[in-house]
Amino acid sequence: MIAYLARRVLYAIPILLGVNLFTFALFFVANSPDDMARLQLGIKRVTPEAIAIWKHAHGYDKPLFYNGADQGLQRFSDTIFFEKSASMFAFDFGRADDGRDIAREIRMRAGPSLEIALPSFVIGMMTNITFALLMAFFRATLLDMWGVVLCVAAMSISGLFYIIGGQFLVAKLWHWVPISGFESGLSSLKFVILPVAIGVVSGIGGGARWYRTLFLEEIGRDYVRTARSKGISELAVLFRHVARNGLIPILTGAVVIIPSLFIGSLILESFFGIPGLGSYTLDAINSQDFAVVRSMVFIGSLLNILGLMLTDISYTVADPRIRLQ
Amino acid sequence: MYGRRPADWAKLSPMRQILILLFLALSGCGSIWDDPYPASDSGKSILYLAFTERPKHLDPARSYSENEAAVDAQIYEPPLQYHYLKRPYTLVPLTATEIPHPEYYDAKGNRLPEDAQEVATSLYRIRIRPGIFYQPHPAFARDAKGDFLYRHLSSESLSGIDSIADFARTGTRELVANDYVYEIKRLASPWSQSPIAGLMGEYIVGFRDFARKLEKSGKVDLDGINLPGVKVEDRYTYTIRVKGKYPQFKYWLAMNFFSPMPPEVDRFYSQPGMAEKNLTLDWHPVGTGPYMMTENNPNSRMTLVRNPNFHPEAYPSHGMPGDNLKDAGLAMPFIDKVIFSREKESIPYWNKFLQGYYDVSGISSDSFDQAVAVSIQGEAQVSPQMKEKGIELKTSVAPSILYMAFNMDDPVVGGSSERAKLLRQAISIAMDFEENISIFANGRGIPAQGPIPPGIFGYREGRAGMNPVVYDWVNGEARRKSIDAAKALLAKAGYPDGRDAKSGKPLVLYLDATGRGADDKTRFDWYRKEFSKIDLQLEIRSTDYNRFQEKIRKGTAQIFTWGWNADYPDLENFLFLLYGPQGKVKHGGENSANYENPEYDRLFEEMKNMDDTPERQKIIDRMQSIVQEDAPWIWGMYPKDYQLNHSWLSNLKPNQMARNSLKYLRVDAKLRDEKRHEWNRPEYWPFAALFALFLVTAIPAYRVYRRREEMKAR
């Protein structure tokens, strides 16, 4: 397994390089360094000299990929792409266009993102599994039918509706929690309850319906019939046998998501004023801050690769018949 | 419960621990659960404001946008400020003892009389008041020997320091003239990246050479280098020498760019390791103003607290009729703390304002109908729902203009030919901006008659100010000319029925724009509809912001919408937008339409250095009639700002030029608390409803369960 993982780590390097190259190319197709400078310096009274100074100060006064004026390897190394990318592989993300240290910002913002994403993920999983098991238990009854109808309806509603509706109902009309905002420590609890609840509720439709399918598939297997023939109650069959076996695909599907929880949610954070990584990325895209965008894309791809590796490992844990070679 | 020993806490089940934590967290909010602020802040003299976009720069040399000035202006003090209550906007001294009057000199350095026309340089002598001190800050802290405590810091010695508050000692010192001179040198330094460096290079003597010298030398201590046009005369006096006559220079002295910067503060922040901890001048301003920044987390909150060293300053004793002068003569500021919270989305911002958690709010289009009712006389007032809450509406016309420009370099709509001019005039009549304001701005604007907005010297009300190309004076009011008049002009231009008379082909025009959203589509449809009224076809060329800007810079756009927000309340700051040497394509200036008219340019040069006299008005009138006739812009509108505030906030008067207005405001915290409790009582019935819903589903579920369990075979 170690050899397998080592091989996966080595594969990750060209993937990260490719992602970085792709992000770089996409970004600079839409924005030139001059555009970036103009946006940072403001619309009024921007002189060509000011743009030149800004580009020089931020390292954007070089060719993008190939520097014909240099000799040898420097033709490639004395370029914006090389200088901005090489440091990133050493986890030196540099500074945002507003001068703030990106690594420090990421450290500061990962906490608030996790405070929303982690409980939403864990509680969401538990809720979905519970709902799915209940629907499986009441299969072929009116309760099951209405459960599926509700799930389909819930899946069809936009995520933004849950956010605006949730804020309106729970925070504005019922006055249970603040509409938006954030505090650190224990005080954050009152601010995260609603976004977490919305994260959970908005995921029930898709999650519970998918898990229900998995559980129903398990219910038809031979070992379930055997268990029933032994006289075990239906609840015990479901929660002791079906749930345990049905969880294998659920868990392996969930493991891949875990690392990306750090990245946060773009819209949820924006509406609830959570100073997390999701809103950081959104701000950077809006302000054309390439330094932040490429750092977040790099971290995102790294976490995605990590998630896939963890999924592979989780297969071996969940099913002893599988061996990584 | 609070007395439980740790061992007892550990014995509790996780569920009980969660419930206790939940209870503690919610009980921290007091009797209202939705309060986003700590219960301990209740009843305190705090002003709650929101910001949508996080400020990019708080360094006064760099900061230029409105949202940055809203913070900086409470902390930094340039020598002059705008009178808070007087209209038209009037400059008054802030740290200066008086408004400086320029002394004129010829090329040999001889003093000239005040009415001299041929002036080589103007000298501004600024005297500042003694006894003004900076806010407490570690940059000023000294040890027993008088040496700076935090001068030779390294990355290692900064371990454990994460914010300015982590420095154990602070100090202060008196404001001196050199601090202002130092800041002007910073404006010239390439590493400050000041947006006005280019402009000041045109005016301040020696500024450009000084900047070039610094570019070659790299980052150096600015205190040791001489900027010829800016000098310290004595401890409290400095002079700025400006090329020629530039009467508008005094307005720049009221902007944050010309605030004082103590050299020791700049040196403090330049030390190694500070930038890595985000401890920079760009994020932690240091000034003499009424407030000082104690928390800057631009991701969620910025906090200003009263500067204990703030110099005495009294609320104005004179204003305009109807102004609140109850606090006249009383020492400012009246509020101890200002909290700016970040609200990126308009819906939560609006709802929190209605709950009483923000003291002031703008009005987005979504909430306009809920907030504002327009009377039969067309007067905007708060809706009955808002009135019931005691919410007040303040309106003001912004010193801005939103217009639609023709690219004068374009072969079809541009140029000075009669044909093109008539075409532009016809379109100007067809574009019904009264309707545009009503549909897209909820009536928040005044149809523009020319480039000068109300409140600025040169603006004329009524018939005298009317644009005769687009309007007729009927029954005491300006009425837009008929579509038939526009069609007649179009036919005269050689486009009868919207077709080229020679080729017979329909005339297709192009509007360059940026938006691609649903709201933009409605706007574009409206533009098309207006053009179609005179049988013209309009194609929208929508693109991203960068490409749009590029088109304007290169002059490849044909028709586009644009705007301008004044730097200072002088018409020169508007009329220069049509001055030939400011052409965007040829000179990279602010004349985005690339309009050129020799007579207009000559009059502009004559007018720009004049005082506000009847002679100046005459020239302005002539300039206005030239551009109305040439119609390089469809004049669009002067936007109106609508602002709502709660009843507990007093002394609020919209001031479009003064950004340092927080010191004038007063909050009745007791009334605010009462209202918050009244408006935010939690509803309990949904708990019962949820429980009932649970029962409604649980009972049949239990029946099904029993039936299943009793079945012989499953």
Buried b (16+ CB within 10 A) or exposed e, B387-405: eebebbbeebbbbbbbbbb
Distance from CA of B584 to the nearest CA of A (A): 11
Q: A32 phi and psi, to 5 degrees?
A: -95, 160
Instruction: For residue B64, list chain A residues with Cβ-Cβ distance below 8 A.
Output: 42, 44
Band (B19; pLDDT cuts 50, 70, 90):
low
Share of chain B above pLDDT 70, in %: 95
Measure CB to CB from residue B297 to each of A137, A189, A275 and give the nearest one: A275
- Highest average pLDDT, of A184-188, B343-347, B403-407, B502-506, comes from B403-407
What's the whole-number mean pLDDT along residues A113-140?
92
What's the whole-number mean pLDDT along residues A266-291?
88
Compare all CA atoms of chain A with the CA of B25 and give the residue at the minimum distance: A187
Compare all CA atoms of chain A with the CA of B276 and give the residue at the minimum distance: A101
Structural domain boundaries of chain A?
2-89, 103-318
Residues belonging to chain A: 325
Both B477 and B602 in one domain: the answer is yes
Buried b (16+ CB within 10 A) or exposed e, A60-95: bebeeeebeeeeeeebeebbbbbebbeebeeeebbb
pLDDT of residue B392: 96
What's the whole-number mean pLDDT along residues B211-235?
91
Q: Does residue B358 lie within any of the structural domains?
A: no
Both B75 and B186 in one domain: the answer is yes
Q: Does residue B235 lie within any of the structural domains?
A: yes
Mean pLDDT check: name the lowest of B21-25, B303-307, B438-442, B610-614. B21-25
Cβ distance of B348 and A49 shorter than 8 Å: no
What's the whole-number mean pLDDT along residues A42-50?
76
Band (B18; pLDDT cuts 50, 70, 90):
low
Measure CB to CB from residue B34 to each of A47, A143, A171 and give the nearest one: A171
Cβ distance of A179 and B34 shorter than 8 Å: yes
CATH code at position B80? 3.40.190.10
- Cα–Cα nearest to A304, from A22, A88, A16, A7: A16
pLDDT of residue B703: 87
d(CA A290, CA A37): 11
pLDDT above 70 (res B489):
yes
- Looking at this predicted complex, what is its ipTM? 0.87
Compare all CA atoms of chain A with the CA of B218 and give the residue at the minimum distance: A57
Of B624, B641, B658, at which residue does a domain stop? B641
Both B11 and B119 in one domain: the answer is no
Cβ distance of A53 and B190 shorter than 8 Å: yes
pLDDT of residue B21: 60
- Cα–Cα nearest to B420, from B509, B326, B306: B509
pLDDT above 50 (res B7):
no
- Cα–Cα nearest to B660, from B80, B22, B43: B80
pLDDT of residue B421: 97
Q: B265 phi and psi, to 5 degrees?
A: -70, -45
**Per-residue pLDDT tens digits for B581-599:** 999 999 888 999 999 999 9
Distance from CA of A102 to the nearest CA of B (A): 9
Tell me if B167 sits within 8 A of B160, measured CB to CB: no
Instruction: For residue A42, list chain B residues with Cβ-Cβ distance below 8 A.
Output: 64-65, 195
pLDDT of residue B706: 85
pLDDT of residue B26: 52
Residues contacting B381, CB < 8 A, separation 6+ = B372, B373, B374, B375, B393
Both B461 and B600 in one domain: the answer is yes
Instruction: For residue B195, list chain A residues with Cβ-Cβ distance below 8 A.
Output: 41-42, 44-46, 50
Both B184 and B217 in one domain: the answer is yes
The tokens for A167 are 């804020």
Q: How many domains does chain B have?
A: 3
Both B76 and B129 in one domain: the answer is yes
Both B5 and B132 in one domain: the answer is no
* Cβ-based contacts under 8 A for chains A and B: 168
Both B88 and B17 in one domain: the answer is no
The alpha carbon dihedral of A97, A100, A102, A108 has a sign of negative
Both B561 and B635 in one domain: the answer is yes
The three-class DSSP label of residue A149 is: helix
Distance from CA of B452 to the nearest CA of A (A): 18
What's the whole-number mean pLDDT along residues A283-289?
85
**Per-residue pLDDT tens digits for B669-700:** 999 999 999 999 999 999 999 999 999 888 98
pLDDT above 50 (res B200):
yes
pLDDT of residue B471: 97
The three-class DSSP label of residue B632 is: coil
Question: According to CATH, what is the number of the domain A103-318?
Answer: 1.10.3720.10
What's the whole-number mean pLDDT along residues B466-482?
96
Distance from CA of A193 to the nearest CA of B (A): 10
d(CA B446, CA B462): 13
Distance from CA of A14 to the nearest CA of B (A): 30
pLDDT above 80 (res B232):
yes
Share the mean pLDDT of chain A: 87
The tokens for B325 are 């002068």
pLDDT above 80 (res B415):
yes
Of B267, B291, B315, at which residue does a domain stop? B291
d(CA A192, CA A197): 8
Other C-beta atoms closer than 10 Å to the C-beta of B372 total 20
Q: Does residue B37 lie within any of the structural domains?
A: no
What's the whole-number mean pLDDT along residues A213-222?
91
pLDDT of residue A43: 64
Band (A26; pLDDT cuts 50, 70, 90):
confident
pLDDT of residue B2: 39
Instruction: For residue A279, list chain B residues with Cβ-Cβ distance below 8 A.
Output: 299, 344
Eight-state DSSP code of residue A168 = I
Q: Does residue B143 lie within any of the structural domains?
A: yes
Strands B291-297 and B477-480: unpaired
Q: How far apart are the first and last CA of chain A?
A: 6
Burial status of residue B150 (CB atoms within 10 A of its CB: 0-12, 13-18, 19 or more): buried
**Per-residue pLDDT tens digits for B148-194:** 999 988 878 888 898 999 999 999 999 999 999 999 999 999 888 89
Share of chain A above pLDDT 70, in %: 99
Which residue range(s) make up the domain with B565?
400-641
**Per-residue pLDDT tens digits for A194-214:** 999 999 999 999 999 999 999
Compare all CA atoms of chain A with the CA of B341 and give the residue at the minimum distance: A181
What's the whole-number mean pLDDT along residues B644-668?
96
CATH code at position B488? 3.10.105.10
Q: Which residue has the higher pLDDT, B210 or A3?
A: B210
Cβ distance of A176 and B682 shorter than 8 Å: yes
Q: Does residue B88 lie within any of the structural domains?
A: yes
Of B641, B657, B677, at which residue does a domain stop? B641
Measure CB to CB from residue B347 to each of A40, A164, A233 and give the nearest one: A164
pLDDT of residue B9: 60
Distance from CA of A117 to the nearest CA of B (A): 18
Cβ distance of B282 and A98 shorter than 8 Å: yes
Q: Which residue has the higher pLDDT, B44 or A237?
A: B44
Share the mean pLDDT of chain B: 92
Tell me if A178 sits within 8 A of B35, measured CB to CB: yes
